[in-house]
């Protein structure tokens, strides 16, 4: 009976110590985040445009009139107007006869395209249904 009480008390103490350690780590982490935010707010040096995170960079609006005159095809228009931005592309794969392609055929071609684009350092996310 004494041994069981001893182990119960020992486990309670260890559990309490672990919980306190975790709370202290969380407090330290939040304190560091607050300190970093204060550091950034009080920093007089402005970062260069290319050093800023993508969500803080100024978006340069393209001159659409100029682009419309330059582009001869819809593909060129898309390429000129979305330069430097992520683009979503939707592709439907059909068989030679115009029928809807089967799933394994579609997945094979998607894999080929994905590998080719990855080899050109273009990140592609595939969403199939």
| CA distances (Å), origin 64, targets 46, 72, 75 | 30, 13, 15
Q: Which two tokens stand for residue 127?
A: 């969403």
Q: What is the pLDDT of residue 57?
A: 77
**How much is the pTM?**
0.40
Q: What is the pLDDT of residue 10?
A: 61
Percent of the chain with pLDDT over 70: 76
Q: Kindly state the average pLDDT of the residues 105-121.
A: 88
Higher pLDDT among residues 69 and 25, named by residue: 69
Q: What is the pLDDT of residue 53?
A: 74
Q: Which two tokens stand for residue 38?
A: 């204060």
* Residue 24 binned pLDDT confidence (cut-offs 50, 70, 90): low
């Amino acid at each position: 009976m004494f041994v069981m009480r001893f182990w119960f008390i020992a486990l309670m103490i260890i559990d309490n110590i672990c919980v306190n350690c975790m709370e202290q780590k969380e407090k330290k982490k939040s304190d560091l985040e607050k300190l970093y935010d204060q550091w950034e707010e009080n920093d007089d040096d402005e970062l260069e445009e290319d050093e800023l995170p993508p969500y803080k960079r100024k978006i340069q609006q393209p001159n659409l009139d100029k682009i419309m005159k330059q582009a001869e095809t819809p593909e060129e228009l898309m390429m000129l107007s979305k330069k430097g931005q992520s683009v979503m592309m939707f592709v439907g794969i059909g068989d030679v006869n115009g029928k809807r392609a089967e799933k394994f055929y579609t997945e094979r071609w998607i894999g080929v395209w994905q590998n080719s684009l990855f080899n050109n350092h273009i990140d592609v996310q595939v969403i199939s249904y």
